[in-house]
């Protein structure tokens, strides 16, 4: 899977399977990609027994919002907001659930799951109003998980205290544990769990679905990217603030990368995936290459016999999750998880 960075362009997107390959060839290719990905993610302990504690509860017109903490591997406790529709509580019927992952914002979970979240970011609140149970956790270095005296999304102290880990690996371990929690709740149908996110939350949703098949449908806003034509590929490695996977900086310095990002997104296939990308996105401006990566992903979905499971929307706009894109994402989740 190793690629020369100089060779990665929109017109030279690496193939996920050779032309003429059959769907039966995918399991071996998928396993090879996952092995590389897990090696770069670093420490990835399995889930711990499900345990959570409710800190506070608020009754909104359409739902109940619980502020809780849940146990995660490595002795961590993850603060989160759980939103449950009144109708689901009244009838104690299992409902579809969505893990709502927040973008790179200091307020963390509140941005997507509280009434005072930013415009175009309250997708957790909007989904609970559509009948979904919603769990929105804080990632490390955000919300209630910003170490005292530090700034949000500064990971130096995390790496100093957690040798062998990566920030992305830590987030994914916490999110897998969030799926464990959702599966244990009597108001959740464990066979109808999805994930949604914008930016950081978008690519974390895709990464999570690639590692945990209990995520039956995934939607990402401005979170699908590729190395090809990226004006700032170093964003994924070691930085002076938010370092995703430091080891990638060594590869980039040598002019190589161990994978292209659509190869990691392909770990989700053929489960349903929705991606919204914008042509004026100043974070991920290389939309022609992103579209080429999605096109190769679409070819894989076709080879696997499920072309209808992948939906890609490319439109005008900046690094945002505007109403039309959100409505399309919600309709996608309703189609695959039920109302």
- The low-confidence residues of the chain, meaning pLDDT below 50, are none
pLDDT of residue 93: 85
pLDDT digits (tens, 9 = 90+) for 266-323: 999 999 999 999 999 999 999 999 999 999 999 999 999 999 999 999 999 999 999 9
Residue 339 domain-assigned? Answer: no
pLDDT digits (tens, 9 = 90+) for 227-248: 999 999 999 999 999 999 999 9
Place of tokens 């190869």: 263
The whole domain housing 178 covers 3-334
- CATH of residue 85's domain is 3.40.50.1820
pLDDT of residue 332: 98
Residue 279 domain-assigned? Answer: yes
Q: What is the 3-state secondary structure (H, E, C) of the chain?
A: CCEEHHHCCHHHCCCCCCCCCCHHHHHHHHHHHHHHHHHHHCCCCCCCCCCEEEEEEEECCCEEEEEEEEEEHHHEEEEEEEEEEHHHHHHCCCEEEEEEECCCCCCCCHHHHCCCCCCCCCHHHHHHCCCCEEEEECCCCCHHHCCCCCCCCCCHHHHHHCCCCCHHHHHHHHHHHHHHHHHHCCCEEEEEEEEEEECHHHHHHHHHHHHCCCEEEEEEECCCCCCCCCCCHHHHCCCCCCCCCCHHHHHHHCCEECCCHHHHHHHHCCCCEEEEEECCCCCCCCHHHHHHHHHHHHHHHHHCCCHHHEEEEEECCCCCCCHHHHHHHHHHHHHHHCC
Question: Which residues have C-beta within 8 Å of that of residue 294, sequence separation ≥ 6?
Answer: 224, 262, 275, 277, 310, 312
Residue 274 domain-assigned? Answer: yes
Residue 229 domain-assigned? Answer: yes
Residue 313 domain-assigned? Answer: yes
| Predicted TM-score (pTM) of this structure | 0.98
Whole-angstrom Cα distance, residue 34 to residue 199?
22
Q: What is the count of structural domains for the chain?
A: 1
pLDDT of residue 1: 81
Residue 178 domain-assigned? Answer: yes
């Amino acid at each position: 899977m190793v690629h020369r960075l100089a060779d990665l362009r929109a017109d030279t997107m690496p193939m996920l399977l050779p032309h003429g390959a059959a769907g039966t060839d995918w399991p071996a290719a998928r396993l090879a990609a996952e092995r590389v990905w897990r090696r770069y993610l670093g420490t990835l302990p399995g889930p711990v027994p499900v345990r959570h504690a409710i800190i506070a509860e608020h009754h909104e017109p359409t739902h109940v919002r619980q502020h809780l903490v849940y146990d995660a591997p490595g002795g961590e406790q993850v603060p989160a907001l759980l939103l449950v529709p009144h109708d689901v509580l009244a009838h104690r019927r299992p409902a579809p659930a969505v893990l709502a992952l927040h973008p790179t914002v200091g307020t963390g979970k509140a941005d997507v799951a509280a009434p005072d979240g930013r415009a175009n970011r309250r997708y957790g609140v909007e989904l609970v109003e559509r009948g979904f149970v919603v769990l929105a956790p804080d990632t490390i270095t955000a919300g209630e998980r910003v170490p005292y005296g530090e700034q949000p999304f500064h990971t130096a102290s995390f790496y100093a205290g957690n040798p062998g880990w990566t920030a992305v690996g830590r987030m994914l371990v916490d999110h897998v544990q969030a799926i464990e929690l959702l599966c244990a709740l009597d108001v959740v149908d464990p066979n109808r769990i999805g994930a949604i996110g914008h930016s950081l939350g978008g690519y974390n949703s895709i990464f999570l679905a690639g590692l945990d098949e209990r995520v039956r449908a995934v939607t990402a806003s401005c979170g699908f990217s590729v190395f090809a034509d990226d004006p700032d590929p170093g964003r994924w490695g070691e930085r002076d603030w938010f370092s995703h996977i430091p080891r990638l900086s060594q590869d980039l310095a040598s002019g190589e990368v161990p994978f292209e990002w659509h190869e990691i997104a392909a770990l989700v296939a053929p489960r349903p995936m929705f991606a919204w990308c914008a042509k004026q996105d100043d974070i991920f401006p290389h939309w022609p290459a992103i579209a080429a990566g999605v096109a190769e992903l679409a070819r894989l979905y076709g080879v696997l016999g499920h072309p209808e499971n992948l939906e890609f929307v490319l439109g005008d706009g900046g690094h945002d999750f505007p109403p039309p894109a959100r409505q399309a994402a919600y309709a996608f989740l309703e189609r695959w998880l039920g109302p």
